[in-house]
Amino acid sequence: MKFAQEHVPSKQALKKLPSTSPLPDANWVLVFGSVNRFKDRGFTKALQKRYPYAQLMGCTTSGEISDKGVHDDSIHITAMKWERSTLKFVTKPVTSMAQSHALGNQLGEELIKNNLKGVFVLSDGLHINGSELVEGLQEVLPGIPITGGLAGDNALFTQTLLLHDTKIHDKIVTAVGIYGKDAVVTSGALGGWKPYGPPRKITRAVKNIVYELDGKPALPLYKMYIGYYADELPASGLNFPFAIMSEDKNINVIRTLLAVDERDDSLTFAGNVAEGSTVRFLKSDHDMLVNGASDAARQVLDKNIDTNDNAIAICVSCVGRKLVMENQVSDEVFAVQRLLGMKTGITGFYSNGEICAGEGDNHSQLHNQTMTIAYLSEHMN
């Protein structure tokens, strides 16, 4: 696999790039940028002209990731030429949140065939149940690594956009299947959050809405735990996610608070929280989150990859982590880069949800508040 990357900083026009692209015969181009940049006049035409043989794929973000760190209101372009593998691109409209699981099934059915090594997915970040989407995909593609994320919009939660081929859409899911014996697709995911307070049982919930914890109204209990931050809900909830605990009392998956409802004292999360599950409140700081990103990269290294081969690491991290680390957020990107080495190109974005398998687990699911890494490469020998 060959790759080349281009970065268009804030306030620089896409047309200011050199007239010739660095990899004009690329067959897959990933593009991450802000909502404003995706609305630039001539955005898709300029990309198509630079990469006439490539399938264009991308989404809006709450921050763009490159090997130089984290950027706002920029465009980051990663062009890839897969030489020994086959790619298949599928796009579906998002018609309703209730159809999320069925949509995942449909995508999986179109992608399933021999030698499928992995799937990378980008989705609308506001009008879909990410948990149901991934479960639908994984149901059809058991054991296949599924990675990706939900588009962002700088934590405004008003509109996310996706790039598919030559058009910009606001309510779609787009995915690429990677096939062939030489394709390398693996991943790592870890949060770096610390539980505090006693375990709590979810005693009443419907999908991603939690009404009761230990038989008590959920919102007042949550407010008690976060103290004076309660006055800034729901925005402050990004700093205090939930951990869904496994039977061995480890963190299974993290859920971000999206909304609160004072009328029924409920909490709405970015992914499903099953009734009967055990949860813990979480908190973190800069160093813990950076260590979590490092451990996600170590999970990739533990898969016996060859760091001498060209590779792309697509880092999808949560907007909540960015808000906690503020102007030091690039540190988690540099932590990943140091471990994966100079042959690995870094790209990615800050998202409304991350798609990846967990530590020691081949079952992909929706994560929140987590650094996830999709590692893509080809065996060249």
| Side chain identity at residue 192, one-letter code | G
pLDDT in tens, 42-101: 899 999 999 999 999 999 999 999 999 999 999 999 999 999 999 999 999 999 989 999
Residue 148 backbone zone (phi > 0: left; psi -120 to 50: alpha; other: beta): left
Task: Give the pTM.
Answer: 0.92
pLDDT at site 359? 62
CA distance 203 to 311: 45
pLDDT in tens, 191-242: 889 888 899 999 999 999 999 999 999 999 999 989 999 999 988 888 889 9
Percent of the chain predicted with pLDDT > 90: 75
Is the pLDDT assigned to residue 10 strictly greater than 70?
yes
Determine contact, residues 7/32, Cβ cutoff 8 Å.
no
The token pair at 185 is 């697709």
- Label the pairing between strands 183-190 and 146-150: unpaired
Residue 319 backbone zone (phi > 0: left; psi -120 to 50: alpha; other: beta): alpha
Determine contact, residues 113/180, Cβ cutoff 8 Å.
no
Nearest to 149 by CA among 376, 301, 361, 369: 369
pLDDT-derived band at 35 (thresholds 50, 70, 90) equals: very high
pLDDT at site 250? 82
Is the pLDDT assigned to residue 361 strictly greater than 70?
no
Peptide bond into 234 cis (omega under 30): yes
Is the pLDDT assigned to residue 160 strictly greater than 80?
yes
The CA-based dihedral angle spanning residues 150, 155, 156, 157, taken in that order and rounded to the nearest 10 degrees: 30
| Side chain identity at residue 327, one-letter code | N
Is the pLDDT assigned to residue 360 strictly greater than 70?
no
Q: C-alpha 322: how far from its chain's center?
A: 13
CA distance 177 to 86: 8
C-alpha count within 13 angstroms, C-beta hemisphere, residue 218: 30
Nearest to 194 by CA among 261, 131, 284, 255: 284
Is the pLDDT assigned to residue 358 strictly greater than 80?
no
Nearest to 81 by CA among 53, 59, 57: 53
C-alpha distances (whole Å) from 40 to each of 1, 15, 36, 190, 315 are 30, 11, 7, 35, 25
Alpha helix positions (H), the chain: 35-38, 43-50, 100-111, 130-140, 218-226, 286-301, 319-325, 330-340
pLDDT at site 283? 85
pLDDT-derived band at 15 (thresholds 50, 70, 90) equals: confident
Mean pLDDT in residue range 243-252: 86
Determine contact, residues 256/369, Cβ cutoff 8 Å.
yes
C-alpha count within 13 angstroms, C-beta hemisphere, residue 104: 25
pLDDT in tens, 322-355: 988 989 999 999 999 999 998 999 999 999 999 9
Nearest to 129 by CA among 316, 357, 368, 322: 368
C-alpha distances (whole Å) from 132 to each of 89, 270, 298, 366 are 21, 11, 28, 9
CB neighbour burial string for 83-102, b if at least 16 within 10 angstroms, e if fewer: eebebebbbbebeebebbbe
pLDDT in tens, 105-126: 999 999 999 999 999 999 999 9
pLDDT-derived band at 292 (thresholds 50, 70, 90) equals: very high
